[in-house]
Amino acid sequence: MQKILTVICFLFSCIVVSAQQQAYYFTRITVQNGLSHNKVNCILRDQRGFMWMGTDDGLNRFDGNKFTVFRNDPGNKATISGNIITDLLEDKEGIIWIATADGGLTKYDQHLPPAQQFKQYRHTPGDSSSIPVNIINKLLEDNQGILWLATSGSYVVRFDKKTERFTVPARVGTNTALALSMCSDGKIWVGRQGGGLLKIHPQTLRYEMDERYGNLYAKLPHATVTSLFSDRNKNIWIGSWDKLIYKLNTVTKQEQTIPANVINEEALSFAEDKQGNVWIGGRYNGLYIYDPQQQKFQHFPHDPSKEGTVAANRINCIYIDPAGVVWLGTNKGVSVSNPLQQQFKQTFLPRPFGKDVVIHDFYKDESKDLWIGTSEGLYIQRNGRADFEHRPLQYKGTPIGVSRFFKDREGNHYLGTNYSLFRFDPKTVSISLLPNTEKDGVMNQIIKSNVTSVVEDTIDDHPVLLVSPYGHFLTYYDLVDMKWVSRLDSTKKIIQRFNIKDNLIRSICKTKAGAIWMATTKHGLGKWTKNSAPKLNFFINDPSKSNGLSNNNVYDIAEDGNGNLWLSTFGGGLHYFHVKNETATHIAEGNNLLEGLQVDRAGNVWMIGNGNLHKYDPLTKSYSSFQLPDIEKSGGVQGRIYKDADGKLYAAGNGYFISFQPQQIKINQQQPMVYLTDFRIFNESHSHLLNEKSISLQHNQNYITIEFSAPDFSSGSPVHYQYMLEGFDKKWIDLNTENKVSFSNLEGGDYTFRVRATNKPGVWSKEMASMQITIIPPFWKRWWFFVLCAFFAAGIAYAVYRYRINELVKLQAIRNKIAQDLHDNVGSTLSSISVYSQVAKIYKQQQKEQQLQDTLEKISETSSEMISEMNDIVWAINPRNDHMDVMLQRMQSYAKPLLASKEIKLSFTYDPAVQLLNLEMTKRKNFYLIFKEAVNNVLKYAQCKNLEVKISATHHHLEMLVKDDGVGFDPATMKAKASQSLSGNGLRNMEMRAKEMKGTMHIESVPGGGTTIKLRFPIP
């Protein structure tokens, strides 16, 4: 009975309100925007701010601009385990758990190397330790960090992330669980298919259930629970197959039912916003929002005829992010409701006979009545009323469209129209042509145009109304002569007289100082200069000037508080014109295709561009964009912006207008955080390196790409990026909306990569992402290599120095040796000659002629030997005789004539390679003298018939064989005689010369068997 009363009370306290005017405007994200599939089952915002969307064909990561899609690759365990993503959960460690309907569970850890980021948990038949089933419907993490999986076919599965163990704590009732929720006391609620609710205590694993649900045919409420949600008031919301929504208070245990006549819907999803409103996504009829304060439901179904409604009537999931942006996953993409976009509401005008209504201008009178000039006449919204009065206007049967309101200083009202300029009486809503209008060929029924601007001025000392009939240059109405003066006036000739160069004048602006400026389509900004006669001077685009206009198509003009002008150009964006020095400053930030503009009381500039509204703050130099609702798919707002006496702004679209107080418009002040998302080397991902404090690369890893992203979904403006590679770049580099940058052939050294982002062009976030990069140079460019080279060069220099010193020492030693040899030989020879001379004197005194003659011959022979030896030494030390072929020639030229005189036949042979050798001076001298001594011994003692000389080079040694067929001798006897007398110096000298060359010399001889001398010494 109590439950029935509760239901009745809830029934009468709830009212479903169909939105007469759309309170929530939704933009749509589909496969055309990069989504992998239009059926979106789950949505999650991770700790870094990225939005994750699970679809029937893969997982999507979205940063507000770009999608990254992850799909299963059969056989590749480094991908997600399935493609039908049913739920997403991010745990406290930032790991994302992915539930699938075709592949079990997947763990995603973006901190790991790419090949290890995804870990699959799939059911393996016969393996009891694997996940029991591959169909997972929902995920939940309890207070102890344990995962709970609602499955189809295996009840509720408990997963311990540390041990990676799967268990099923409650094998009772039906084995399919569709929903999970945890209430404030930590108890887990399970919504089952056909079994009602199951409650599990996660610590003790005890469970509770209503035994009545054991009878699957019993008619019980919420027998099949499709969704569960716990709100901030400790209520559990229940969606069920019976198309009823239930609300159970976990404190009072009272269950309330929303009857079918209030909401006849199966709720698939729930969410709660910051205001406490509960959002409910239905299976069949779209979105419902419950206001607990007023206890009212609003219904927002899909309307295919209108833009901005939910994408489809099946709402699979609802996610509300920290910024209040609402994300709805439907079968036809994602619907997004941005709270900043909801600040602007479209007010539609009634359509007479279904005609399109084009709004041209606004005017709010002293009574606060709003007058709207349109292509179908006037619309009036009286002060305090929401409806509109439509007042069609006609003149002589011609329908009149109103394009401009004007009120002069005397309070007279005028209407600029597509026919002419009319006087207007607001009380009677009547119009009348100015006198003599019929006489003017331009202003009497303007041809295919309308009046775009009207100001008061004086010409020729007459007060006039200066008028721009678009396409017909400029006209004015003389209020004294009461006539129009236009381009057709042959007397006034105003085109030449006033220097009017453009027939398309969009706007005429009269400043507080009385100056008049004109916005032209082809000739830039016109200044109405009044000296003896009015004249237009034009400020046009001049590429050679940096302080001029960037575009000649000026759309609108507005004066700021300093008396300077803001200009909107269609193609060149926003400009600030300094009136005093007549220079323009281009505002680079923002949209280039600008139309109307206005300056609010705070000095901010509001503009229309590409169908949306834009704001520029001159103090902070920041630019903001607002994506406006466009229910009728009309292309957004266009034309001018009107400002009333209270500072309220009005902008018009096709058949509707938007009005707002600028100071009440909230702007997203939070700049997006930028994250490094990938690091590629030769297009191969190494994203795990982003977790390191510093990245070190080899010199040949010289092509890298760094990707980054700044998730932002609430600003309405695309995110722009700047980067700087410290150590390479001197200033920040603009990337616009590009979110990656590549570097190649970086020199070795330390670099710091920095990137920053903004959703307000002109104002950059102080927060930035950075990373240290060290390029290890090749060894030949590293400091230790230069040190080694320096040491090596110093070593070479020292070696050269030592070599030169050693060579000088050697040369000096050779010189000393030569001097010593000369001293010894010459001294010994001269001593012998001196002795022989004394002996010769004695023989002469004794008159011993024969002995005297012998002595004189010895003197002559000794002198000749000394001269010959001196010639040999001089020849040996001459550098021109370094080559071996010169040596061989000298050896032959010495031996042949001497041996021939004794009738000894000479056989002189050598290897061809010997000719190519160069012997240094000492070895050359000793080699030659040994040979000469051997030949001399043959001549003196051998008594031979043949002499064989053979020279060869083997194994870096030079060998010489001297062999005769003479009488020979006994080497032992010869050595004994040599030791007992002064004779035998020749053989000793030969042995000493061989040792000096670090060689060996062997003499083989037997009496009667000839003599053989073998010399062997090393050569380079």
398 three-class SS: strand
Single residue among 107, 122, 137 that ends a domain in this structure: 122
Containing domain of residue 81, as a range? Answer: 37-122
pLDDT given at position 818: 67
Do both 912 and 975 map to the same domain?
A: yes
Classify each residue of 52-61 as buried b or exposed e, where b means 16 or more C-beta atoms within 10 Å of its C-beta: bbbbbbbbbb
pLDDT of 827 reads: 62
Q: What is the pLDDT of residue 51?
A: 96
How much is the pLDDT for 844? 78
Same domain as 843, residue 773: no
Which residue, chain included where needed, has tokens 């268990």? 167
Q: How many domains does the chain have?
A: 4
Give the pLDDT mean for 721-740: 92
> What pLDDT score does 20 carry?
39
pLDDT at 863 over 90: no
**834 plus 746 within the same structural domain:** no
Residue where a domain terminates, one of 861, 877, 893: 877
Q: What is the mean pLDDT of residues 284-293?
A: 93
Q: Say whether 921 sits in a helix, a strand or coil.
A: helix
Q: What is the CATH number of the domain that holds 709?
A: 2.60.40.10
Indicate if 894 and 988 belong to the same structural domain.
yes
Report how far apart, in Å, the C-alpha atoms of 975 and of each of 209, 971, 982, 988, 1006 are. 128, 6, 12, 9, 14
Res 86 pLDDT > 80: yes
Q: Which long-range contacts (CB under 8 A, 24 or more apart) does 830-837 make?
A: 832/858, 832/862, 833/859, 833/862, 833/863, 836/862
Once rounded to an integer, what is the mean pLDDT over residues 254-258?
Answer: 90
| Same domain as 809, residue 712 | no
Sheet holding 96-100, edge to edge: 85-90, 96-100, 105-108, 118-121
Range 814-830 average pLDDT: 64
Report yes or no on 531 lying in a domain: no
Structure tokens of 898?
Answer: 């001497």
Q: What's the pLDDT score for residue 922?
A: 80
Mean pLDDT of 193-210: 94
| Structure tokens given for 910 | 């050598």
Residue 498 domain flag: no
Pull the structure tokens for residue 329. 């996953």
Confidence at residue 44, expressed as pLDDT on a 0 to 100 scale: 97
Beta pairing partners, 622: 617
pLDDT at 972: 80
pTM for this model (two decimals): 0.73
Using the predicted structure, report yes or no on whether residue 233 has a pLDDT greater than 50. Answer: yes
Residue 568 CA, chain-centre distance (Å), reads: 33
Same domain for 904 and 969, yes or no, is: yes
- At which of 777, 797, 816 does a domain end? 777
pLDDT digits (tens, 9 = 90+) for 450-472: 999 999 999 999 999 999 999 99
Reported as a single tens digit per residue, the pLDDT across 125-147 is 999 999 999 999 999 999 999 99
C-alpha–C-alpha distance, residues 51 and 317, integer Å: 14
- pLDDT category, 989, cuts 50, 70, 90? confident
Same domain, 997 and 903: yes
Asked whether residue 339 carries a pLDDT value surpassing 90, the answer given is: no
Same-domain check for residues 981 and 902: yes
Give yes or no for a contact between 351 and 357, defined as CB atoms under 8 angstroms apart. yes
d(CA 327, CA 287): 12
Tell me: pLDDT of 917 over 80: yes
Range of lowest pLDDT (767-776, 779-788, 794-803)? 779-788
pLDDT (mean) for 487-509:
94
Q: What is the mean pLDDT of the chain?
A: 89
Higher-pLDDT residue of 989 and 332 is 332
Rounded average pLDDT over 64-88: 95
Let me know whether 768 and 796 are in one domain.
no
In a domain, 681, yes or no: yes
In a domain, 347, yes or no: no
H or E stretch covering 808:
helix 783-845
* Alpha-carbon gap, residue 97 to 999, rounded angstroms: 86
Q: Is the pLDDT of residue 164 over 80?
A: yes
Q: According to the model, what pLDDT value does residue 379 have? A: 97
Confidence of residue 890 (pLDDT cuts 50, 70, 90): confident
Judgement on whether residues 991 and 909 belong to the same structural domain of the protein: yes
